[in-house]
Chain A
Amino acid sequence: MSYILNTPSQIEKMLEEIGLISLEELFKHIPQKIKVKELNNLEERKSELDVLSTIDKIAKKNKGTNKFNSFLGAGLYEHYIPSALKHLLYRTEFYTAYTPYQPECSQGILQALYEYQSFICLLTGMEVTNASLYDGATAMVEAVLMSLRINKRNKIIVTKSVHPEYREVLYTYLRLQPYHIIELPYKNDGLIDKEALLNIIEEDTSCIIIQSPNFFGLIENIEEVKRSIKDKNIILIDVVNPITLAILKEPKEMGVDIVCGEGQSLGGNLSFGGPSFGFLATKKEYVRQLPGRIVGKTEDVEGNPAFCLTLQTREQHIRREKATSNICSNESLNAIGAAIYLALLGKEGFKKASLYSLNNTYYLLTKLRDIKKVSFPFKGLVFNEFVWKIENAHKILQQLEEKNILGGVALDKFYPELSDCILTSCTEKKTKKDIEDFIWNLKKIIK
C-alpha cells in the first residue's frame, strides 16, 4: 500500500486513453544502463500494524525526560503544553496545507502567522519580525547576515557565553567568506567583559552578539553594553529565551537592534532537538533586510481585511552582494503552535509559566547553596538555569541517574575550562518534591 488509489484496471484504462501499453513505457526514454535493476537491501512493505510494532520495539530503547526527574535545559526546556494546543495544531487544515502562496485559500494560516508575528513583537518590544526561521542557531546567523548587509562592515564579535552550538553554526556559515569572527571571553563572573569588548571594537565592527540570560543562565546588563558602544553604529544582537520575556524587560527597551532566539519554549516538544523554530525581530527601518517569509495585512478587492505573504522579492532576488541569505522556508506549524500557546496561556498563564520557573530555580539554587561540597563559579542573577560545581561531577551525575534524576548538563564538553561544572534548569513543571528529591539524593551521594 503506497497510498495509491488507482486499481490495476483503472491504470490500464488511463494508459489506453493516452496511447500507451504499459507503465514501463513512461520510462523508456531513460537510458537503460542507468536504470535500477533491483533494490536488494530493502524490505518488503509492511502493514500499518507491523510498522507500528516495528517502531514500537525501537522506541522502547528510548528513555525520555518524562521517565526521569529531569533538570536538563541548555537551550531546550520542558514547559507544560496545554492539551488544546495539540488538538488545534493537528487539525489537518493547518498541518497538511502548504505555504500560503495563494492567500485567498489560506487566510487561516496567514492570520495565524500574522498573530504570531504580533506576539513576538509584543514580547520583544520590537517593531517587525518574520514568520519564523529554522531554529535559534540559524536565526542568530541570519541576524549577523542582516547586520553585515546593513552596515557593510567586516567584523563580528560574539561572546563566548552564547550557546556553543549556535557559535559553531555561525562559524560554519561564515568561515568561507571574508569576515572575521572574534570570540570575546567571559569574565570570571560569567558575564560579558565590557573592558575587553571596548578594546576589540574597531571601525570595522559590524555587530556584537550577546545572549541574555546567557548559556550559563546569567542575566547580562545589556543597557550597559549598549551605552558603551553608542554612536559607533554597531548593531547589537541579543539572543533570548522567549519564556523569560514574560518577566524580563523587552530587549527593545534596552537598546537592542536585533533580537533572535529559539522558540521551542513556547509550547514546543523537546523531540530530540527538532523541529522547533527560530525567531528574529528588529526595527522598522531594517524591515527590507529581514530574511524569510513575512505576512502582511492588506485588503481584498472588495475592501475586506485580508492577509498575504509580502516583501517576497528579497527571497527570490539573487543579489551579487556578499553573504546573501538563501533561507526562505520557515517552521510555520511550530510558529503557529507558539501563537496558540501564548493565546491559551494568555497574560496570566504565560507570566505564571515564567514566574514559577524562576521560583523553582531559586528554590533549588538556595537548597544547593546549603550543601558544603557544592560551589558556584558564577554568582550573578539567574532566571531558569544556573551553573554549579562539584568534584567528580560526571560521577555525581551518573549516580543521580541511577536514582532516576537527570541532574543537568556537564559543561566540560563545551567549555574545557569549566571542568566539574554542571548546568541545571527548572521549569514550572518541577514540583517541590522533585526538587527535594534531587537535594536529598545528592546529599546521600556526596557522603
Chain B
Amino acid sequence: MEFKKNNKVREELIFEKPITSESANFFSTSLDEIKEAKEFIPSKFLRKDLPLPSLGEPEVVRHYTNLSRLNFSIDANFYPLGSCTMKYNPKVNEDIAQKEEFIFLHPYQEEKYVQGALQIMYELNKILCEITGMRQFSFQASAGAHGELIGMLIIKAFHALNNDKRSKVIIPDSAHGTNPASASMCGFETVVVRSTKEGLVDIDELNKKTDDEVAAMMLTNPNTLGLFEEQILDISNILHKKGALLYYDGANFNALMGIVKPSCMGFDVIHLNLHKTFSTPHGSGGPGAAAVGVVNKLVEFLPVPIVGKEKDRFYFNYNLNHTIGRVKAFYGNFSVILKSYAYLLRIGREGIKRVAYNSVLNANYIKEKLKEYYTPASIRQCMHEVVFSCSKQKNKGITALDIAKRLIDFGIHPPTMYFPLIVKEALMVEPTETESKDTLDRFINIMIAIDEEIENHPERLKNAPLTAPVRRVNEVKAARFPNLRWEKPGE
C-alpha cells in the first residue's frame, strides 16, 4: 500500500484503468436499424480499431474530480501572479454564459435569429470605447498574443497603404516575449530600447532610435515593472512626429481603468485582455479573448466582421475598406465576450474606477510592508503590481524559485518568477482588487517567515514544496527526454 503526504493518492492515467463498462448509453437511435460503417464506406477508408478506454461514468467522474483537487485555483488560493490579473471570476457570469439562448447559437444562422448575440458585441464595444477612448473594437482575437498580431497587421497595412516602407518596431527591453514575436510574425525587425536605472523607457535612447523606418512602438503602461511611464506623452510625440504609430499592450490595464484612457496617452491601437482586466476565468490556460481597439483612422483596417446597428437592427458589417481579413474562423470567443459584458454591467461606472484604486492600493501595501525584506526592483511608486528582486536572498544561497516553491506549502500560488528579464531573481506580485487586507497580511507574514527560514531552515526552501501532491518536478528531464503521450505497453 502506498500513502502520499496529505493522503492524496496519485491518480492513474485514464488509460491505465481497467475496463469497467463497455456500453455507454448516452443517446440512442430511432432509426429502424443501424448499419455498420462498411455498408456506406469501403474498408480501405476505415480504421481497424479504436483504442479508447471503456469506463463507466462513476469512474470517469471520480478520476477528474480527483485530478481537479490537485490544482490551485483563484477560488481556493491567493494567486498573486504578476501580469495575469488573477481576480475573482463572478459566478453569475458563468450562469449567463451557459444560458441556452447563447450556447445553442450556430454562427451560420441568419442574423435575425442572433440579434441578442450581436447586441452583446455591439454594447460591449460601446462600453470599451468609452473606457479607452478608442473608436471601434474587434473581438476576433482569442488571446493577448493573438490581439497583438492583429495590431501589428493593422499597423503594417496602414503604412503599406501610404506606400510607406517601414520595417522596424521599437520594443522596450522590459517587454513580454510575445511582443517581439508578434512583430516578427508580420515581418518587422525589432529594435530594443533600454530602460533607465529607474525602470522606465530611456527617452533619449528612444529619440535616437526613432527614425523614418520605424512603423510603431509597442508599450505596456504601467510597464512590466509595474511603473507608470510618466513621460508617456513625450513618448507618443516622438513616435507620431516621425509618422510612427503607438501600440498599447493592455495586459496591465487593471491599474488604469477609469483613471486614464489609452487614447489620451497617445495610443493608436490597443488590445485588452478580457480574461485579465475583465474578470473572465483563465480556464487553466484558456480560453481567453482580446479586444483590439483602434483610433478613427485605423477602423477600416480591423478584421471583419464588426457589428453595426441600423435603427433597431444589429448586423454584421463586412464593409471595411482595408480590412486585414479574418484572424479566426467565425466571430471570436463569444462566451468570453458575454462574460466581460456582464461584468461591466455589474460594476458600472463607479466600479470601474474602484478596481484601479484598490488594485493599486493592494500592490503598494504589499510593497511597503515587504520592502525591508525583499528589495523592490524600483524605488518609484508601483501601480497594480510590484516587482521584487530576490538578490539579497540569492546572496545567501536561496533563489526566487526556492521562495516561490515554498509558498506552495502555505497554499499560496507563487508570484510570476524571473520576469521581467531585466530584473535579477524577479518575483512579480499582483494581488488584484478582489483580495482582502486579511489575505494580504497573511501573505506578507508568510513572506517574512520565509525570509527568516533562510537563516534557520534553508533546507525547507531548497527542497520546497514539501507538502504539495508532488515534490519539485524535474523539468530538465522532461525537456531532455520528452514523454508527451501515453503509449500502450509493448509499443
Bound CA span A306–B334, Å:
35
The reply to whether the CB of A274 lies closer than 8 angstroms to some CB of chain B is yes
Name the residue among A80, A297, A428 with the largest chain B CB count within 10 angstroms: A297
Contacts of B303 in A (CB 8 A): 172
For window 225-260 of A, CB contacts with B under 8 Å fall at 245-250, 253
The reply to whether the CB of B360 lies closer than 8 angstroms to some CB of chain A is yes
CB distance A115 to B486 under 8 Å? Answer: yes
Give chain B nearest CB distance to A195 CB in angstroms.
22
Give chain A nearest CB distance to B384 CB in angstroms.
10
The reply to whether the CB of A188 lies closer than 8 angstroms to some CB of chain B is no
Give chain B nearest CB distance to A294 CB in angstroms.
6
CB distance B283 to A333 under 8 Å? Answer: yes
CB distance B96 to A92 under 8 Å? Answer: no
Instruction: Of the listed stretches A101-109, A153-161, A200-208, A438-446, name the one at the interface; the rest are far from the partner chain.
Output: A101-109
Give chain A nearest CB distance to B87 CB in angstroms.
7
A102-146 contact mask (Cβ, 8 Å, vs B): 1 or 0: 111111110111110111011000011101101111100000000
CB distance B473 to A35 under 8 Å? Answer: no
Bound CA span A163–B107, Å:
14
CB distance B92 to A48 under 8 Å? Answer: yes
The reply to whether the CB of B161 lies closer than 8 angstroms to some CB of chain A is no
Partner of A102, one of B286, B408, B483: B408
CB distance A343 to B73 under 8 Å? Answer: no
Bound CA span A26–B484, Å:
47
A45-B351, A93-B73, A298-B473 given; A134·B61 CB < 8 A: no
Instruction: Of the listed stretches B205-213, B237-245, B292-300, B323-331, name the one at the interface; the rest are far from the partner chain.
Output: B323-331
CB distance B478 to A296 under 8 Å? Answer: yes
Contacts of B77 in A (CB 8 A): 105
Bound CA span A327–B144, Å:
10
A42-B127, A54-B345, A88-B64 given; A98·B143 CB < 8 A: no
For window 16-54 of B, CB contacts with A under 8 Å fall at 21-24, 26-27, 29-32, 34-37, 40-42, 44-47, 50-54
Contacts of A328 in B (CB 8 A): 145, 178, 181
A104-B408, A352-B27 given; A51·B342 CB < 8 A: yes
Bound CA span A226–B100, Å:
44
In the complex formed, the residue of B with least CB distance to A359 is B34
CB distance A31 to B329 under 8 Å? Answer: no
The reply to whether the CB of A286 lies closer than 8 angstroms to some CB of chain B is no
A105-B468, A166-B329, A296-B482 given; A326·B335 CB < 8 A: no
Give chain A nearest CB distance to B444 CB in angstroms.
11
B195-208 contact mask (Cβ, 8 Å, vs A): 1 or 0: 00000000000000
The reply to whether the CB of B315 lies closer than 8 angstroms to some CB of chain A is no
Bound CA span A253–B477, Å:
31
Bound CA span A221–B145, Å:
37
The reply to whether the CB of A94 lies closer than 8 angstroms to some CB of chain B is yes
Give chain B nearest CB distance to A235 CB in angstroms.
20
B1-18 contact mask (Cβ, 8 Å, vs A): 1 or 0: 000100000110111000
Contacts of B30 in A (CB 8 A): 431-433
The reply to whether the CB of B442 lies closer than 8 angstroms to some CB of chain A is no
Give chain A nearest CB distance to B104 CB in angstroms.
3
Contacts of B94 in A (CB 8 A): 90, 95
The reply to whether the CB of A372 lies closer than 8 angstroms to some CB of chain B is no
Instruction: Of the listed stretches B78-86, B387-395, B445-453, name the one at the interface; the rest are far from the partner chain.
Output: B78-86
CB distance B475 to A310 under 8 Å? Answer: yes
The reply to whether the CB of A377 lies closer than 8 angstroms to some CB of chain B is no
Contacts of A87 in B (CB 8 A): 61
For window 27-53 of A, CB contacts with B under 8 Å fall at 27, 29-31, 33-36, 39-46, 48, 51-52
CB distance B329 to A273 under 8 Å? Answer: yes
Name the residue among A18, A46, A55, A74 with the largest chain B CB count within 10 angstroms: A55
CB distance A333 to B145 under 8 Å? Answer: no
The reply to whether the CB of A91 lies closer than 8 angstroms to some CB of chain B is yes
The reply to whether the CB of B358 lies closer than 8 angstroms to some CB of chain A is yes
CB distance A304 to B10 under 8 Å? Answer: yes
For the side of the interface on B, what is the size category? Answer: 35 or more
The reply to whether the CB of B284 lies closer than 8 angstroms to some CB of chain A is yes
For window 93-145 of B, CB contacts with A under 8 Å fall at 94-96, 98-110, 113-117, 119-120, 126-127, 130-131, 142-145
A244-282 contact mask (Cβ, 8 Å, vs B): 1 or 0: 011111100100000000100000011111110100000
A117-B485, A334-B286 given; A48·B333 CB < 8 A: no
Partner of A406, one of B109, B358, B437: B109
CB distance B145 to A103 under 8 Å? Answer: no
Partner of A97, one of B265, B282, B324: B282
CB distance B361 to A65 under 8 Å? Answer: no
Partner of B259, one of A27, A91, A355: A27
CB distance B326 to A34 under 8 Å? Answer: no
CB distance B47 to A249 under 8 Å? Answer: yes
CB distance A296 to B434 under 8 Å? Answer: no
CB distance A31 to B230 under 8 Å? Answer: yes
The reply to whether the CB of B187 lies closer than 8 angstroms to some CB of chain A is yes
Bound CA span A171–B157, Å:
14
The reply to whether the CB of B186 lies closer than 8 angstroms to some CB of chain A is yes
A105-B408, A432-B31 given; A296·B230 CB < 8 A: no
Bound CA span A320–B144, Å:
21
For window 136-194 of A, CB contacts with B under 8 Å fall at 136-138, 163, 165-166, 168-169, 171-173, 175-177
Bound CA span A362–B287, Å:
35
Give chain B nearest CB distance to A116 CB in angstroms.
9
Bound CA span A133–B34, Å:
35
The reply to whether the CB of A371 lies closer than 8 angstroms to some CB of chain B is no
CB distance A320 to B184 under 8 Å? Answer: yes
CB distance A138 to B342 under 8 Å? Answer: no
Give chain A nearest CB distance to B82 CB in angstroms.
12
CB distance B336 to A305 under 8 Å? Answer: no
Contacts of A305 in B (CB 8 A): 10
Give chain A nearest CB distance to B119 CB in angstroms.
5
A92-B75, A302-B471 given; A128·B484 CB < 8 A: yes
Partner of A45, one of B42, B232, B347: B347
The reply to whether the CB of A420 lies closer than 8 angstroms to some CB of chain B is no
CB distance A30 to B104 under 8 Å? Answer: no
For window 398-419 of A, CB contacts with B under 8 Å fall at 401, 406, 409
Contacts of A61 in B (CB 8 A): 115-116, 119
Partner of B331, one of A274, A332, A406: A274
- Excluding A99-B286, A219-B45, A272-B102, 15 further A-B contacts by CB distance (< 8 Å) are A2-B358, A30-B230, A67-B104, A82-B26, A91-B68, A105-B72, A109-B284, A111-B11, A111-B13, A112-B64, A271-B334, A277-B287, A300-B473, A329-B142, A360-B29
| CB-based closest 3 A-B pairs | A45-B348, A273-B330, A64-B104
Ordered by A's residue number, 23 sampled pairs between the chains whose C-beta atoms are within 8 Å are: A11-B358, A26-B383, A35-B259, A41-B126, A62-B101, A72-B108, A76-B106, A76-B330, A95-B73, A96-B281, A98-B413, A105-B77, A118-B486, A127-B485, A271-B335, A274-B328, A274-B330, A296-B484, A332-B285, A339-B14, A343-B53, A344-B26, A359-B34
